[in-house]
């Protein structure tokens, strides 16, 4: 019984460490993509405040250009 508890403790420790690594890598991804200028995550912070139907979208996507790019890639 003690062996099982020891294995559970090691499993718990490594699982928590795995989750911490995932969390810090996600934070690093957000930080680096904002520094590179790929996305501005501060705009997403106001998404709950700017919730009216007349508000402009955070990111605009032109579906015609996206469809044309997909056809060119194929």
> pLDDT tens digits, residue range 3-16?
999 999 999 999 99
Which pLDDT tens digit goes with each residue over 24-42?
999 999 889 888 888 777 7
Residue 43 has a pLDDT of 78
- pTM, two decimal places: 0.56
What's the distance, CA 5 to chain centroid?
Answer: 35
Per-residue burial over 37-67, b if 16 or more Cβ lie within 10 Å, else e, is: eeeeeeeeeeeeeeeeeeeeeeeeeeeeeee
């Amino acid at each position: 019984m003690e062996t099982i508890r020891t294995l559970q403790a090691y499993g718990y420790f490594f699982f928590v460490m795995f989750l911490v690594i995932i969390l810090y890598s996600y934070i690093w991804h957000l930080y680096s993509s904002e520094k590179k200028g790929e996305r501005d995550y501060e705009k997403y912070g106001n998404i709950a405040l700017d919730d009216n139907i007349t508000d402009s979208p955070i990111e605009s996507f032109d579906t015609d250009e996206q469809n044309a790019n997909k056809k060119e890639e194929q």
